[in-house]
Amino acid sequence: MFSVLAVLCSGILALEPANHAVSRDYAITCCSATSRDEIIGLQGALLRYQSILRTGGWPEVPAGEPLGLGSIDPRVRIVRQRLVRTGELPHSAVIARSPEMFDGQVVLGVRRFQERHGLSVTGVLDSKTAEAMSVPVEERIRQLRANLWRLRWVPAENHGRLVRVNVPAYEVTLYEHGEVVARMRAVVGRVDRPTPVLFSEINILEVNPSWWVPPRIARERILPNAARDPDWLRQRGYELRDGGTPVDPGKVDWSQVEEKGRLPYTIRQRPGSGNAMGRVKFIFPNDRMIYLHDTPARGVFERLRRDLSHGCVRVQRPVVLARFLLQHKEEENAEAVLAAIRGEGFRATRRIELPAPVTIQIVYLTAWVDERGVLQFRTDVYGKD
What is the per-residue DSSP string for 307-333?
EEESSSEEES-HHHHHHHHTTTS-HHH
Residue 310 catalytic? Answer: no
Q: Is 250 exposed, middle or buried (0-12, 13-18, 19+ CB in 10 A)?
A: exposed
Kindly indicate the confidence band of residue 355, based on its pLDDT and cuts at 50, 70 and 90.
confident
Kindly indicate the confidence band of residue 228, based on its pLDDT and cuts at 50, 70 and 90.
confident
**Better-predicted residue by pLDDT, 18 or 222:** 222
SS3 content of the chain, % helix, strand, coil (to 5): 40, 20, 40
Angstrom distance (rounded) from CA 80 to CA 87:
10
Question: What does each C-alpha distance from 290 to 163, 197, 230 come to in angstroms?
Answer: 14, 10, 30
Kindly indicate the confidence band of residue 10, based on its pLDDT and cuts at 50, 70 and 90.
very low
Smallest CA-to-CA distance from 129 within 353, 323, 272, 304 is with 304
Residue 312 catalytic? Answer: yes
- The arithmetic mean of pLDDT across residues 130-135, rounded, is 98
Alpha-carbon dihedral sign for residues 175, 176, 181, 182: negative
> In percent, how much of the chain has pLDDT > 70?
90
Q: Which residue is catalytic, options 9, 30, 31, 312?
A: 312
Q: What is the pLDDT of residues 247-269, one digit of tens each?
A: 988 888 888 887 777 788 889 98
Could you give the residue range(s) of every CATH 2.40.440.10 domain in the chain? 161-209+277-377
Report the run of H or E that residue 242 belongs to, with start and end: strand 238-242
Contact 16, 149 (CB under 8 A): yes
Q: Is 165 exposed, middle or buried (0-12, 13-18, 19+ CB in 10 A)?
A: buried
- The arithmetic mean of pLDDT across residues 218-241, rounded, is 87
CB neighbour list of residue 65: distance below 8 Å, 6 or more residues apart: none
CB neighbour list of residue 113: distance below 8 Å, 6 or more residues apart: 83, 86, 88, 119, 129, 132, 133
**Helices 137-151 & 2-13, crossing angle to 10 degrees?**
120
Q: What is the pTM of this model?
A: 0.87
- The arithmetic mean of pLDDT across residues 13-35, rounded, is 35
The DSSP letter of residue 300 is: G
pLDDT surpassing 80 at residue 2: no
pLDDT surpassing 90 at residue 136: yes
Kindly indicate the confidence band of residue 157, based on its pLDDT and cuts at 50, 70 and 90.
low
Fold held by 161-209+277-377: L,D-transpeptidase catalytic domain-like (2.40.440)
pLDDT surpassing 70 at residue 33: no
pLDDT surpassing 70 at residue 31: no
**Better-predicted residue by pLDDT, 163 or 250:** 163
Q: Which pLDDT belongs to residue 115?
A: 97
74-135: what CATH class? mainly alpha
Average pLDDT over the chain, rounded to whole?
88
Kindly indicate the confidence band of residue 34, based on its pLDDT and cuts at 50, 70 and 90.
very low
Residue 277 amino acid letter: M
Contact 268, 195 (CB under 8 A): no
Alpha helices in the chain (DSSP H): 2-13, 24-32, 36-54, 74-85, 104-116, 127-133, 137-151, 215-217, 223-228, 231-235, 254-260, 318-325, 331-341
- Report the DSSP pairing between strands 211-212 and 198-207: unpaired
Could you give the residue range(s) of every CATH 1.10.101 domain in the chain? 74-135
Q: Which pLDDT belongs to residue 333?
A: 84
Q: What is the pLDDT of residues 36-78, one digit of tens each?
A: 778 899 999 999 999 999 999 999 999 999 999 999 999 999 9
Contact 160, 383 (CB under 8 A): no
Q: Which residue is catalytic, options 9, 30, 117, 293?
A: 293
Kindly indicate the confidence band of residue 3, based on its pLDDT and cuts at 50, 70 and 90.
very low
CA-based max dimension of the chain: 79
Q: What is the pLDDT of residues 285-343, one digit of tens each?
A: 999 999 999 999 999 999 999 999 999 999 999 999 999 999 888 877 889 999 999 98
Contact 52, 58 (CB under 8 A): yes
- The arithmetic mean of pLDDT across residues 183-202, rounded, is 97
- The arithmetic mean of pLDDT across residues 197-207, rounded, is 96
- The arithmetic mean of pLDDT across residues 83-107, rounded, is 95
Alpha-carbon dihedral sign for residues 71, 75, 81, 87: negative
Angstrom distance (rounded) from CA 346 to CA 337:
8
